[in-house]
A and B are shown apart, each in its own frame.
Chain A
Amino acid sequence: MKPPLFYDVTLRDGSHANQHGFTAEFCSSYIDKAYSSGLRYLEVGHGNGLGGSSLHIGRLKDPLLWDVVAYKVSQYQDLKIGVHVIPGLATFEDLQLASEAGITVFRIACHCTEADTTETYMDYVSQQGYEIWGLLMMAHMIKPDQLAREAKKMESYGASRIVFLDSAGALTPSMVERITNEILSVVDVPLGFHAHNNLHAAVANSLAAVASGCDSIDACARGYGAGAGNLSLEALVALLEKDECSTGLDLKQLTELSGLIEKQFPTSLPIVDSLSTATGYYGVFSGFKPKIIEAAVSFDVDPMDIIASLGQGQVIAGQEDQIIATASEIARERRR
C-alpha cells in the first residue's frame, strides 16, 4: 500500500473541542513539534474556518494566530499552512487577509450538494496562484454518484485535489470505498478523506479510504477535533507502519504530539459517548455537540430528541441556530 499524504487539521478541527480557544503560543509549539515529526501540511484556525468566529458558532479567543502562521512559514520553507474556507462564512476579504499571513493552501469547502457556491472563491484564490483543494462536507447525506458530480464541478473550477468529509462520522468502510471509487471514476485530480469518530469508525474508514485509492488523509493528534473527534493521526500511522507501509513520519514524535494535546486540554479530549453515537447514527454534524447540550439544558429537553429531530430535518453544518429553534419547538410541542 502506498502511504497517504497526512494533512494535520488539529489546530483547526480541534478548535471545536476547546471552543476555539487555541492560543498563539500553543499553536507555535504544536507546529514546531509537528514539523519535526515530519508533517508538512497543517491547518490552523477557527473550527469552521475563515470567518467562523461569531456568537453563532463561537468566537476565536486568540486573534494572534495569524502572526504565528506568518512566522512559522518563514521559519520552515517547506511547511504549508492551510485554511478551511466556507463561502457564506468567509468573504474575499478573509481570503486576502489569509494570503497576506502566509497561507498557501486554501481548502474551499461547502455542503456536499452545493459545489457551485465555491466557484467564485476558487477563482479568487487561483488568480493568486495558491494551492486549492475542494472539500465536500457532510458526504453521508447524498449518494456516491451525486457526490462525484459535485466533485467534478470543483475540479472544473480549479481544485487540484478533492476531499470528502464524513463530518458527522456517519459513514461505514464500505460506503467510503464506494464513494472513493465513484469520485475517482470521474475526476482526474487526487482524492482525500476526512473522518470523524462518532461511531468509532474513523480508523476503519480511513484505512478503507487509503485501500481504495484516496491518497491524502486528514487527521488530528489524539483525534483532537469536533464532537467525538477525528481520526487519530498517530493511530493510523502506527497501523500503516505495522503493515510495512512506510509513512515517513516519526511515530515516537507523533505520540509526543498527542501527549502535548493531552497535557494542554485534559478536560476536552474527545470521547465516543451516547450523544456521539446518536449524532453518528442520525448523521448530525459533529461540531454541534456542545450546542446541543447547551440548548437541551436551556429548554429542559432531552438532547437525544434534539439530535433525532435535527437528523430528520437534514440540518447541515452552519445551522447552529437551528439547534436552538429545534429545542424551542420540542419544548413548545410538549406544552401543547
Chain B
Amino acid sequence: MKKIAILGSGNIGCDLLVKCQETDGLKIVSFAGRHANSRGLEFALRRGAHITDRSMEGVLEDGETPDILIDCTSAAHHQYNYDLCKKHGIRIVDMTPAKLGVSCCPVVNLEACLDADNINMISCGGQAAMPICLGIKQANPEIEYIEVVSTISSASAGPGTRKNISQYITTTQKAIRDMLGVASVKVIINITPAIPPIHMKTSILVDTEAISNEPETRSSIESVAARVRTYSPGYYISVDLRRLGGKTICQVQVAGSGHYLPAYAGNLDIINCAALEVIKKL
C-alpha cells in the first residue's frame, strides 16, 4: 500500500481524495487544510479520511507519515512544503504552478519522471494542451510557435486558481517549450461564468505555414488523444484541425468524471487524472 497525504482542501484536493480512495493500492493517511470548518475538510471527514487543519505540520505530526504528498495549495506555499518533505524523505507531487520539480505530462514523459523527488503536474491547461501539441510536433518537427487558449468555467476556478494566473501562464508556457522543444509558446486563459458551466475547452493554434501535412498531423493528434483517454476518459477533440487563413486551430474539450465537482470541471479532472496516473506508477 502506498501511503498518500493530500495537502490543500480546495477543489483539487477534494477531487483527488475521491480518486485516490477509489484506486487500489493507495491509502490516504491524511487530508490537510488550514481552516477547521472548511467545506473541504468536512467533505474529507465524511469520506472517512484522517483530517488535520494544521497544513503541513499536521501531516507530519498528527498522522501516519506518507510516502507521497500531493501538494494542492498554491505556488507561493509550495517551496515551504517541498523543503519539509525533502527533510522527511517524502516524495511530492505538485499540483501548483510552482515549477520547482520535474514537469510531467503522462503521454510525454511519465517514465522519465518516476525517479524525481518532486514531480510538477504543470497546470490543467498544460495537461489538456500538451497531448495535442505533441501530436502536432511529431508530425511537424520543425514547428517553432504554438499557442494554447484554455477556457474554464468560473464554478471550477477556486481561489487558488484565481491568485495564480500569471504563474499558471509562465509555468505552462515553459513546460510546453522545454518538454516538446518548441522555441516559442504563448498561453492564454479565460474564466467564464456562463450558465450552465461549460466543459473545459482548450484550443491549440499554430501558423498554417508550419503544418507541412494536414492529414498526417490530424492522425498524429488523434493517436495521442486516444492515449490520453486511457487515463482521462472525458478528453475529446471538439474542433478537428482546421485552417483559417494564416492560422490553423484544433480544439479539445474535457468533460470531468464528476467525482467531486460536476462534469463541467474538466480542468480539475485532467490534471488530477494525470497526477493519479503518476502516483500509480511511483
Contacts and interface: CB of A to CB of B under 8 A. Distances in A.
Given A328-B239, A328-B242, A319 B192 contact: yes
A313 interface: yes
B192 A111 contact: yes
Contacts of A322: 151, 201
A52 to B, nearest CB: 9
Given A314-B194, A316-B192, A117 B162 contact: yes
A321 B251 contact: yes
Contacts of B244: 294-295, 298, 324
B188 A88 contact: yes
A38 interface: no
Nearest to B191: A114
B282 interface: no
A324 B163 contact: no
Interface string A86-98: 0111111100000
B201 A88 contact: no
B154 interface: yes
Interface in B163-206: 163-166, 169-170, 186, 188-195, 198, 201, 203, 205-206
Interface in B74-102: none
A324 B242 contact: yes
A325 B239 contact: yes
A319 B151 contact: yes
A294 B244 CA distance: 8
B21 interface: no
Given A321-B201, A325-B251, A88 B190 contact: yes
Nearest to A92: B166
A27 interface: no
A113 interface: yes
A324 B240 CA distance: 11
A324 B193 CA distance: 20
A120 B163 contact: yes
Interface in A59-106: 87-93
Nearest to A298: B244
Contacts of A51: 188
Given A88-B188, A120-B163, A121-B166, A315 B205 contact: no
B154 to A, nearest CB: 6
A185 interface: no
B37 to A, nearest CB: 21
A313 B206 contact: no
Contact of A56 (B193, B205, B245): B205
Contact of B188 (A56, A93, A121, A325): A56
Given A117-B165, A121-B166, A56 B191 contact: no
Interface string A166-206: 00000000000000000000000000000000000000000
A90 B247 CA distance: 21
A119 interface: yes
B251 A313 contact: no
B243 to A, nearest CB: 8
Interface string B11-34: 000000000000000000000000
B193 A120 contact: no
Contacts of A92: 166
A170 to B, nearest CB: 16
A244 interface: no
B159 interface: yes
Contacts of B165: 87-88, 117, 120-121
Nearest to B247: A55
Contacts of A316: 190, 192-194
A325 B238 contact: yes
B146 to A, nearest CB: 9
B201 A54 contact: no
Contacts of A56: 147, 149, 188, 203, 205, 247
Contacts of A313: 194, 198
B191 A111 contact: yes
A55 B206 contact: yes
Contacts of B163: 119-120
Contacts of A87: 165-166
A314 B192 CA distance: 8
B117 interface: no
B154 A113 contact: yes
Nearest to A323: B244
Contacts of B194: 313-316
Nearest to B170: A91
The residue in A88, A141, A319 that gathers the most chain B C-beta atoms within 10 A of its C-beta is: A88
Interface of B: 147, 149, 151, 154, 159, 162-166, 169-170, 186, 188-195, 198, 201, 203, 205-207, 238-239, 242, 244-247, 249, 251
- Per CB-CB distance, the 5 closest pairs between chain A and chain B, nearest first, are A321-B203, A314-B194, A113-B193, A318-B190, A55-B205
12 contacts: A51-B188, A54-B188, A111-B193, A113-B154, A114-B154, A117-B162, A117-B165, A316-B192, A318-B188, A319-B190, A321-B203, A322-B151
Given A56-B147, A88-B169, A295-B244, 11 more contacts: A87-B166, A88-B165, A88-B188, A90-B166, A111-B193, A124-B166, A298-B242, A313-B194, A319-B192, A321-B203, A321-B205
